[in-house]
Chains A and B, each alone.
Chain A
């Protein structure tokens, strides 16, 4: 992207654009922007050269992926950041897998909540899924545990929709979007998977869940109470 072809001459031009305030707030709250957000996407493409240095001053990187989407990645502690919860990751990866399947071409990338659940149960296995989303419950009532799984998947879908990974079409149907490929990003690359993972951790793209069994209950509880993942919020420096 060259500044010569941009419709903006200065950063001020970008900031006074009508779409900028909403886009800025959305990016700061973790929203991923792709071609389906036509106005925002066009603004980001046109103003990328001005916005990258601007956000860098806030300790963030404005990332553009080759799959065709933008997002803000906090690298310092000036802006708040969080890591997606285990439920969000599970649902996000299942959606990414669905997005990669050829059947997506037939359905126009529209998927229902039930499809996501059955897909997850098919890959992970129902028992493992019940255990994963009902952690630290050695003995549980299967009906109640299934209800918990449904509620957690629904909550995760809702949160992923606010982050721009999917569009909520109605109560039960979602349209998958290209940012879902971010869930598969750590698995890409021809070289060593471990080295790739390490580089992503170093860049702050992902965080490893070193000891998942440490206290997943508290972790999930925190997510549910806040409606968020692991929050790492910092007061901006003066």
Chain B
């Protein structure tokens, strides 16, 4: 599956690799000198001696030799730096066996070409490129009409579309970028002309503007005419490929059509942008330069700003208030003032009748004793509700052991047996006397002490 964001992936990859270029003027001049020597002497590579020789000449020409470092040593460093940045490549493959042979890389020739070659789009260059491209497309169309074998499609249709057309159309696009660069320089030139000779530059500026407008207009016309022809031929190739079921050729034709559309769109966009700029500068020349030929206004305004120009003034401008939209009146009831409810400082106490939580149990115990219960186990079994949980009955057994000594006298032997008092509850057996007491006994009652803590359940 193709990457949906190839540009993002490529940029990320470049960032990950830490790609960078550091090219001081001396290095750039050295590269340019190598390129010029290669063109002049028709050589593709340089021996080490030649490199050092050219570097020496560049150092002399650029007056960069004032540092005192020996030239050969500097040359070694520069060559190393250029090789590290893949601007210069060793092509002999001899390693340390003998001195090397070096050539400029595509990156280096591209950089040098940018500075040395004037590759702006002109009428002549566009004519040549467009003519070649048309001839190439005509040949591709004929090849597509006669191609029957896949090999023939690949060799005479897909190949030329991908290589020749790409190169030629790329050449036009490159020159378009060169033209863009020229426009930027042109804007600086107009500004410099006006700065140097304010009113005297008007005619030259107007002439420059009109000439450039005419050139751009002509280029745009040519681009439109040629791109229409290119698109027509490419469309034919695409239809033939579609008819023949050759998807690769159809795809290549489609890609070429997009590239041609881009070329045509450039012309229209630049024409539009230039038209705006052209109008604006003309207006500036008319309204500003022509009306103030001696730059008196600029001088006066500067003086005014600096506070040396007389009375200060303020412009008058209209200032009608925005229309007020009145809202409908709504009768609102008188608002009750917000108050916090009063709080009592001390919470009021509720009157409650004191109740003995053990009263019911005490009554049950008395009833059980009256019915004849004579042992603690029996008494506990009677008092504890048989349906209650073991925990509840356990608590009841404890309470019973606490209350019983307060009601009756207890007789206990030294060896007290553990007796079941209902399911799951076992107590130490006490013999309960018949003399029921009237009230609870004091803490010093030995019988009470004896009963305490002996209600341990299993």
A binds B: yes
Chain A residues in the interface with B (C-beta under 8 A): 27-30, 35, 60, 66-68, 71-74, 79-86, 89-90, 92-94, 96-97, 99-106, 108-109, 120, 123-125, 128, 163, 178, 181-184, 186-188, 193-194, 197, 200-201, 204-210, 212, 228-233
User: Given the known A-B contacts A100-B298, A188-B297, are A84 and B315 also in contact in the complex, defined by CB atoms under 8 Å?
Assistant: yes
A75 to B, closest residue via Cβ:
B316
Pair A183/B315 contact, Cβ less than 8 Å: yes
Whether a CB of chain A sits under 8 angstroms from the CB of B277 is yes
**A124 partner, pick from B191, B306, B311, beta carbons under 8 A:** B306
Q: How far is the CA of A104 from the CA of B298 in the complex (A)?
A: 13
- A73 engages B318 (CB within 8 Å): yes
Asked if B316 and A231 make an inter-chain contact with CB atoms under 8 angstroms apart, the answer reads: no
- Residues in chain A near residue B313, CB distance under 8 A: 89, 186, 197, 200-201, 206-209
Majority SS at the chain A contact face: mixed
Give the CA-CA distance A191 to B57 in the complex, in Å: 65
Whether A97 contacts B315 by the Cβ 8 Å rule is no
B residues 305-343 in Cβ contact with A at 8 Å: 305-307, 309-322
Which residues does chain B contribute within 8 Å of A80, judged by CB atoms? 318-321
Contact of A100 among B280, B297, B309 (CB under 8 A): B297
- In the complex, are the beta carbons of A81 and B305 less than 8 A apart? no
Whether B228 is near chain A, meaning CB under 8 Å from some CB there, is no
CA distance A173 to B112 in the complex (A): 36
B296 to chain A, nearest CB (A): 8
12 example contacts (A-B, Cβ-Cβ < 8 A) are as follows A35-B283, A73-B316, A80-B318, A80-B319, A80-B320, A83-B314, A89-B313, A97-B305, A104-B284, A105-B281, A108-B280, A233-B319
A73 — which chain B residues lie within 8 A by C-beta?
316, 318
Q: Within 8 Å CB of B26, what residues of A?
A: none
Closest 4 CB pairs of A and B: A102-B194, A30-B317, A106-B191, A28-B320
Are A207 and B314 in contact (CB-based, < 8 A)?
yes
Asked if A197 meets B297 with Cβ closer than 8 Å, knowing A80-B319, A102-B194, A233-B319, the reply is: no
Q: How far is the CA of A187 from the CA of B300 in the complex (A)?
A: 6
Q: How does the 8 Å CB contact mask read for B191-228 relative to A, with 1 for contact and 0 for none?
A: 11011001000000000000000000000000000000
Given the complex, which residues of A lie within 8 Å of B195, measured CB to CB?
102-103
Taking a contact as CB atoms under 8 Å apart, the answer to whether A81 and B301 are in contact is no
* B182 → A minimal CB distance (Å): 14
Residues of B within 8 A of A207 (CB): 313-314, 316
In the complex, the answer to whether B188 meets A193 with C-beta atoms within 8 Å is: no
Are A206 and B277 neighbours in the complex by a CB distance under 8 Å?
no
Contact between chains at B314 and A123 (CB < 8 Å): no
A97 to B305, CA, bound (A): 9
